[in-house]
Amino acid sequence: MDFSFTEDQQSIRAAIEKICAQFDAAYWRGRDETGEFPHELHQALARDGWLGIAMPEAYGGAGLGITEAAIMMQAISQSGAGFSGASAVHMNIFGLNPVVVFGNEEQKRRFLPPLIEGRDKACFAVTEPNVGLNTTRIKTKAVPQGDHYLMSGQKIWTSTAQVTNKMLILARTTPLEDTVRPVDGLTLFYTDMDRSHVEARVIPKMGRHAVDSNQVFIDGLRVPAADRIGEEGKGFGYLLHGFNPERILIAAEAVGLGRVALARAAQYAVEREVFDRPIGMNQGIQHPLAECWMQLEAAELMVYKAATLYDQGKPCGAESNAAKYLAAEAGYRACEAAVMTHGGMGYAQEFHVERYLRESMIPRIVPISPHLILCYIAERVLGLPKSY
């Protein structure tokens, strides 16, 4: 067992930290206030080639693993950018993995370089309003018509849809009643967001205002058959392929957010004096922060265990789910403790921790709720009967 990062991995973290240092806490607070997308961070990371960190070298990527991608995403979040920064590029890092694995050569050449170079921005449209986590019941349909499909339907929570020109979207191509299994008949497309047929309406939400989330209405969108990824009807399986790395990256981002919140709390606890001594001299302030440190360390170990297993091509479903759960909870607890350490000032925007607390809810809910992770562990690891 080797718990240390390699020199290359440490230099990745240092390079990302250097880029992120250009965007200070005031920048992120400002973006949260205005809701403006952090294009500057996206461009800065694209300029230095970081958006292709886990994409194949043949298409302009760096060909590195999920471990390196997790180091990068954690560093972005931990810089103080939190989920406002991480979510702005999250889709670039691994979102197009279905194209890498299941796309044809023409699609890889057409789709990957523009995303890696930052010329394209893409959103991920799976969740639907009346379906929830029961993804196989999605209603968005794509009807084949010669060399194209005609797509109509509705998505919800599609992040970045205000600023993207591309979307990776799951639609039903065979009616549910005509399939053998509910997972059949779903097809994945990566296509243009033709705004004359796609309308994205921002959902006013609790935090991460710089990165929009939307209701998306699709009405008669012509999707070229050339934009279909892999075989018709197998899209759900293609998405499953990316579930573990997705959870690992979100988990790394959650650890990063928890760490920056904890650092701010510790600093404030040393500086703030009440009753003629620093508040950090009180065990009531110290102990919750010490507990958060331990929880974040433990979660981080699980994140990099899952990432290492994934990069070695080994099964990592339990570890990836556990990492996502533990990191999200640890991140949230650290943000909450940071607010409480600041007392009244924890509630003031000026001290940033209230923004972190609002953002820390995201990895708890996304891309899958804690309940369903617990179900996964209960069923797949402990062998208990399926509850739903």
Ligand X SMILES: Cc1cc2nc3c(=O)[nH]c(=O)nc-3n(C[C@H](O)[C@H](O)[C@H](O)COP(=O)(O)OP(=O)(O)OC[C@H]3O[C@@H](n4cnc5c(N)ncnc54)[C@H](O)[C@@H]3O)c2cc1C
Write b or e for each residue in 96-133: b if 16 or more Cβ atoms lie within 10 A of its Cβ, otherwise e.
bbbbbebbeeebbebbbbbbbebebbbbbbbbbeebee
Q: Which is nearer to ligand X, 79 or 140 (CB)?
A: 140
Residue with Cβ nearer ligand X (326 or 368): 368
Say whether residue 157 binds ligand X (CB under 6 A): yes
Nearer to ligand X, 348 or 372 (CB): 372
Binding segment toward ligand X, per CB under 6 A, in 227-235, 238-246, 333-341, 358-366: 358-366
Which listed range, 11-19, 146-154, 157-165, 232-240, lies at the site for ligand X (CB under 6 A)? Answer: 157-165
- Judged by CB under 6 A, the number of residues near ligand X is 19
Shortest distance, position 156 Cβ to ligand X, whole Å: 7
The interface region with ligand X, picked from 156-164, 263-271, 276-284, 348-356 by CB under 6 A, is 156-164
- Stretch touching ligand X by CB under 6 A, among 153-161, 246-254, 270-278, 341-349: 153-161
d(CA 22, CA 151): 42
122 or 307: whose CB is closer to ligand X?
Answer: 122
In the complex, the smallest distance separating the C-beta of residue 197 from ligand X, rounded to whole angstroms, is 19
Q: What is the dihedral of CA 59, 64, 70, 73, to 10 degrees?
A: -40
Contact call for residue 80 and ligand X (CB under 6 A): no
Does 159 bind ligand X (CB under 6 A)? Our answer is yes
Task: Tell me how far, at minimum, the Cβ of 175 lies from ligand X, in Å.
Answer: 22
Alpha-carbon span 272 to 252, nearest angstrom: 30
Stretch that binds ligand X, among 142-150, 154-162, 305-313, 320-328 (CB under 6 A): 154-162
Query: How far, in Å, CA of 8 to CA of 67, rounded?
Result: 12
Least distance in angstroms from the C-beta of 107 to ligand X: 21
Residue 17 phi, psi (nearest 5): -60, -35
Distance, CA of 208 to CA of 216 (rounded, Å): 19
- Calpha distance 176→137 (Å, rounded): 8
Q: Applying CB under 6 A, does 85 fall inside the site for ligand X?
A: no
Q: Which is nearer to ligand X, 47 or 137 (CB)?
A: 137
Percentages helix, strand, coil for the chain, rounded to the nearest 5? 55, 15, 30
Comparison of 19 and 138: residue with beta carbon closer to ligand X = 138
Distance of CA 7 to the CA centre of its chain: 26
Q: Which is nearer to ligand X, 157 or 304 (CB)?
A: 157
Alpha carbon separation from 310 to 69, 317, 327 (Å, rounded): 12, 9, 17
Residue list 107-136, contact with ligand X (CB under 6 A): 124-127, 132-133
Element (H, E) at 279: none
- The answer to whether 213 contacts ligand X (rule: CB under 6 A) is yes
Contact between residue 151 and residue 125 where contact means Cβ atoms under 8 Å apart? no
Report the nearest approach of ligand X to the CB of residue 274 (Å): 36
Nearer to ligand X, 9 or 140 (CB): 140
- For the CA atoms of the chain, what is the radius of gyration? 21
Q: Minimum Å distance from CB 87 to ligand X? A: 8
* For ligand X, the closer CB: 80 or 367: 367
Is the distance from CB of 359 to CB of 207 less than 8 angstroms?
yes
**How many whole angstroms separate alpha carbon 359 and alpha carbon 342?**
17
Report, in Å, the least distance between residue 343 CB and ligand X. 28
Q: DSSP string spanning 282-297?
A: SHHHHHHHHHHHHHHH
- Please identify the residue of the shown chain whose CB is closest to the bound ligand X: 132
366 sits near ligand X (criterion: CB under 6 A): yes
> Applying CB under 6 A, does 323 fall inside the site for ligand X?
no
Q: How does strand 166-172 pair with strand 148-159?
A: unpaired
Q: How far is the CB of 212 from ligand X (least distance, A)?
A: 9
CA distance 356 to 255: 12
Q: Which residues pair with 192 in a beta bridge?
A: 166
**x/- binding map, residues 167-206, to ligand X, per CB under 6 A?**
----------------------------------------
Please give the residue ranges that form the binding site for ligand X (CB under 6 A): 124-127, 132-133, 157-159, 213, 362, 365-369, 371-372, 388
